[in-house]
Amino acid sequence: MAGGGGNGDLQGWQDKLTPEQFAICRLKGTEPAFTGQYTDCKTPGIYRCVCCGAALFNSATKYDSGSGWPSFWAAMAAGSITEHLDTRHGMRRIEVACTTCGSHLGHVFSDGPEPTGLRYCINSAALDLQPS
């Protein structure tokens, strides 16, 4: 399923993912704040896309934003994350998705720490931590 971009074959994704992962990653849902498995995680490693395994974030850029979701101040590499304008729910936000498979990850905001000033606010269900 990697490399397909977008939602493609939803039934295939539904067979591969848990109901929560499917709702978040393929249907652009959001897990409730402070409920995700990686919100308070301090384990060093690489956070990968739960759908295709692409490397998305390094734990060295993770920080406690107080938002209730895992937050990072930088993506793993240029091009690993794709940004789209999201005007759903009467808001203007920037959605972030996995470039490889199009999985919805969360949103990016410009209120993060230096050196980037960014806060990638990501759903735990969209991630798979590979400990180092």
Q: What is the pLDDT of residue 2?
A: 39
Q: What is the DSSP letter of 126?
A: G
Q: Look at the pTM and tell me if it is higher than 0.85.
A: yes
Closest to 30 in 3D by CA, of 78, 70, 63: 70
Q: What tens-digit pLDDT sequence spans the chain (132 residues)?
A: 333 444 557 889 999 999 999 999 999 999 999 999 999 999 999 999 999 999 999 999 999 999 999 999 999 998 999 999 999 889 999 999 999 999 999 999 999 999 999 999 999 999 999 999
The CA distance from 61 to 73, in Å, is 6
Q: What is the pLDDT of residue 124?
A: 98
Yes or no: say if 60 and 114 are a contact pair by the CB < 8 Å rule: no
Residue 18 has which token pair?
Answer: 């848990």
Q: Which residues are catalytic?
A: 121
What the chain holds in terms of domains, given with CATH numbers, is 10-131 (2.170.150.20)
Query: How many angstroms separate the first and last alpha carbons of the chain?
Result: 25
